[in-house]
Chains A and B, each alone.
Chain A
C-alpha cells in the first residue's frame, strides 16, 4: 500500500507536511523558542523586530515572537479541525447512511430536506451568522463550523449508500435476516470509507481556512491566544513595512492547507487504484 502511495511524489510531500505540522502542534511547548509568547506577554523593547537570528520570523507590535505564535496558532487550528470533524463527520455519515438506506421513506425526505436547506447557504456566511449570534469565542466558532459541516457528509454518504444498498450483497444479507443497523455499519459503511476518508483529509484544510476567516473578522479565538487568522488581521495594519507579521502566518495557513489537500488527493488515488 505504501508502495502504491509513494509512487506519487506530491502525496508524499503532503503526508510529510501533515505529519510535521501535527508533530509541531503536539510538541509546541517544547519546540518553540519562546513558549511564553503564545499568551498575553509583552516586551516592548523587542517590538516590531524584522526576522533575525533571535526572532526567526520577526516579532509583532508588542514584541512577541511570530514563529512561536504561528506554531501555537497551528496547534489551535489543528485541534479545532479535529474537534469539528470528530463531531460533524460521524453525525453526518450516520444521517447519510440512514437516508440512503431507507430510500423514499419519510426519514429519507426529512433528512434530505434539512441538508438541502443547509447546503443552499454558503458555508462561510452561515458560520458567520451563527458565530456572530453567539458570543465570539473559540468554542462558539467551533460550534458554528460543526453545525454547518455535517450536511456535506450526509450528502456524500447519501449518494454512495443509496447505490450500494441496491446491490445484491445487501439484498442477500437483508433476506437472510440481518438487522438494518448491522447492514448499515457492516455492509454499507465499509464501502463508503474511501470517499469519506478523502473528504476528511481535504476538509482538515478547509476547516482551517474557515476558522481562520472567522478569526480574521474577530469571531474566532480571542486575543491574546494566538490564532492564525487573528495574526494575519493584526499584521495587515502594519503592511507593507512590517510584512513578516502578515506574510508568515498567511504562509503557514497556505502550507498546512496545501499539505492536507495533497494528502487527500493521494488517498483518493490510492483507493481508486485499489478498486480497479
Chain B
C-alpha cells in the first residue's frame, strides 16, 4: 500500500459503560485512504463505522492507536487541531433535518466557514457563496431561502456546500443519503462524485448500503462489531466476496433486477442477531452467526490476512492464494 492521505492504525475507541465494562465501539482498525479516492466503510448498526468517522474529525478522542493525515499526527480532539486541519477534514452528517441551523438563511450558513477559511489559499476552490452554490448545482435563489423551506436532498447539498467552503482534502460522509428517496439520492450522489473529481477530494463514505458502494467507492471495507472483516478494491470485492459475513450481507440485500440476483451468494442465509458491543463474543466475533464455523473460531480471533493483491480478509477459513496454490 502506498502512503495514503489518511492512515489509521490500530484505532481503538472504548466508551465506559458500567463499572469495569466498556462498549468496544472500535477495536483495532487499520484503514488507509489514498488521495482522490473513495473508501466505502460498510457496516450494520453497532459496527462502529460512525465512531471511526467521529474520531477522525476529532469529536471523540481515540482510546488507542494512530491517525496520520498528510504526515501530521491528528490523534487529538478538534479543539486542539489547527484551523487549517479542521478545514482539511470535513464531515457531512446523516440527518438532513438537523444539519442546518433553521434560524439562518443559506447565505449566512455558507458565509461562516467561507470567511473563517478565506486566508488559506487553495487553487480552484470557490471563494464566494454564489460560486459554492453553483458547485453543488443549486440556483442563486437559494441564498435567501431558509433551511425549513428546503427538501431533504437540497439540505444535504447545502451541507455538502458548507463543508466545501473550508477547502477540504478529505470529506467524511456519514450516511449522507440514507434518509433520502432513491431518486433524490441519485442526484446527491452524482453531485458528490462530480465534486470529488473537480477538487480531487477523498471521501470516507460511511454507509450500510452495499449496493450504493458498488457504484461509488474505489475501495470497500466491511466492519462488524468494531473490527474490519474484509477490505478490497470494489470490483474485486463484489466479484470475490470471501468473508462469510460479507457474503451474508450480500445475500440479504433486496435487489431490483434479475442480473443482480445472480450476483448474490446463494448458499448462505442470514441468521442470528447482532450481539451487543459490550459483550462481544470470544474469538472471532462473528462465530455465533457463521455457517462455516470451525473449532478454532470461538477461541482465537483471526488476524487480517492479505489474500490477493489488495484484498484483505480476517477469517480462519480463508487462506491466502499462495498457500492454496502450493
Q: Cβ of A177 and Cβ of B87 under 8 Å apart?
A: yes
Q: Which chain A residues border B100 with CB–CB below 8 Å? A: 169
- With A169-B98, A176-B166 already in contact, the answer to whether A190 and B103 are too (CB < 8 A) is yes
Assess the A175–B86 pair: CB atoms within 8 A. yes
Q: Taking the complex as formed, is A167 at the interface, i.e. its CB lies under 8 A from any CB of chain B?
A: yes
Point out the residues of chain B lying under 8 angstroms from A176, CB to CB.
86-87, 90, 112-113, 116-117, 162-163, 165-166
Q: A173 contacts which chain B residues (CB < 8 A)? A: 112-113
Q: How far is the CB of A267 from chain B (nearest CB, A)?
A: 16
**A175 engages B58 (CB within 8 Å):** yes
Check: A171 CB closer than 8 A to any chain B CB: yes
Inter-chain CA distance A8–B95, complex, in Å, is 35
A87 in contact (CB, < 8 A): no
Q: CB within 8 A of B116: which of A172, A178, A191?
A: A178
Within 8 A of B (CB), among A139-187: 167-178, 182, 186-187
A168→B94 CA distance, assembly (Å): 9
A172 CA to B93 CA, complexed, in Å = 8
Closest beta carbon of chain A to B120's beta carbon, Å: 11
Which one of B58, B98, B112 contacts A168 once the chains associate, using CB atoms below 8 Å?
B98
Does B98 lie within 8 Å of A167, measured CB to CB?
Answer: yes
Roughly how many angstroms separate A191 CA and B93 CA in the complex, as a whole number?
20
- Which residues on the B side are within 8 Å of A193 (C-beta)? 103
**Contact string, B59-70, partner A, CB cutoff 8 A, digits 1/0?**
100000000000
A187 touches B87 (CB 8 A): no
> Does B307 sit at the interface, judged by CB under 8 A?
no
CB pair A191–B101 under 8 Å, yes or no, is yes
Contact of A175 among B90, B103, B112 (CB under 8 A): B90
* A191 pairs with B86, CB closer than 8 A: no
B150 at the interface (CB under 8 A from A): no
Report yes or no: B93 in contact with A177, Cβ–Cβ below 8 A: no
**In the docked arrangement, what's the CA distance between A169 and B83, Å?**
18
B57 near A: Cβ within 8 Å? yes
Among B57, B78, B94, B98, max chain A CB count under 10 A is at: B98
Rounded to whole Å, the gap between the CB of A105 and the closest CB of chain B is 12
Contact between B101 and A178, CB atoms less than 8 A apart: no
Contact B59 A171 (CB under 8 A): yes
> Residue B266 at the A interface, CB < 8 A?
no
CB-CB contacts below 8 Å: B82-98 with A: 83, 86-87, 90-91, 93-95, 98
Residues on A with C-beta less than 8 A from B165 are 176
Tell me if B99 counts as interface (CB < 8 A to partner A). yes
Contact status A169-B87, CB under 8 Å: no
Bound Cα distance A186, B115 (Å): 15
Q: Which residues of the partner chain B approach A168 to less than 8 Å between Cβ atoms?
A: 93-95, 98-99
* Separation of A175 and B92 alpha carbons in the complex (Å): 11
Q: B159 in the interface, Cβ–Cβ < 8 Å? A: yes
B103 touches A177 (CB 8 A): no
* Residues of chain A with a CB closer than 8 A to B16's CB: none
Q: Can you list, as one digit per residue, whether each of B106-117 has a CB less than 8 Å from chain A (1) or not (0)?
A: 000100110011
For residue A250, give the distance in angstroms from its CB to the closest CB of chain B.
41
Residues of B within 8 A of A172 (CB): 91, 93, 99, 159, 162-163
Instruction: Tell me, rounded to whole Å, the shortest Cβ–Cβ distance linking B173 to chain A.
Output: 13
* Residue among A169, A187, A190 making CB contact with B99, cutoff 8 Å: A169
Asked if residues A175 and B104 are in contact (CB atoms below 8 Å), the reply is no
Residues of A close to B58: CB separation below 8 A: 175
Tell me whether B99 and A175 are in contact (CB under 8 A): no
> Cβ of B102 < 8 Å from any Cβ of A?
yes
- Complex contacts, B95 vs chain A, CB 8 Å: 168
**Chain B contacts for A174, CB-based, 8 A:** 78
Cβ B113 vs Cβ A191 within 8 A:
no
Residues in A whose Cβ lies below 8 Å from that of B91: 171-172, 175
Q: Across the interface, do B86 and A177 meet the contact criterion of CB distance under 8 Å?
A: yes
Specify the chain A residue showing the minimal Cβ separation from B108: A186
A190 and B103 CA atoms in complex are apart in Å by: 6
Residue of B whose beta carbon sits closest to that of A173? B112
| Contact (A177, B59) CB under 8 Å given A172-B159, A190-B104, A191-B103 | no
Among residues of B, the one whose C-beta sits closest to the C-beta of A169 is B101
Minimum CB–CB distance from B236 to chain A (whole Å) comes to 34
Give Cα A176 to B110, complex, Å. 11
Contact across chains for B116 and A177 when beta carbons are under 8 A apart: yes
CA distance A175 to B98 in the complex (A): 15
Q: How far is the CB of A276 from chain B (nearest CB, A)?
A: 10
B-facing mask of A240-275, CB < 8 A → 1, else 0? 000000000000000000000000000000000000
Q: In the complex, which residue of chain A has the Cβ closest to the Cβ of B57?
A: A175
Residues in chain A near residue B109, CB distance under 8 A: 169
How far is it, in angstroms, between the C-alpha of A175 and the C-alpha of B59 when the chains are bound?
A: 8
Q: How far is the CA of A135 from the CA of B62 in the complex (A)?
A: 58
Nearest chain-B residue to A193 (Cβ)? B103
14 A/B residue pairs, CB under 8 Å, sorted by A: A168-B95, A169-B100, A171-B59, A172-B159, A175-B59, A175-B86, A176-B113, A176-B117, A177-B87, A177-B166, A178-B113, A187-B101, A191-B101, A191-B102
Interface contacts beyond A168-B94, A172-B162, A182-B112: sample of 15 additional A-B pairs, CB < 8 Å, sorted by A? A168-B93, A168-B98, A170-B101, A171-B93, A172-B91, A172-B159, A172-B163, A176-B165, A176-B166, A177-B83, A177-B113, A177-B166, A187-B104, A190-B103, A191-B102
Chain B residues at the A interface, C-beta cutoff of 8 Å? 57-59, 78, 83, 86-87, 90-91, 93-95, 98-104, 109, 112-113, 116-117, 159, 162-163, 165-166
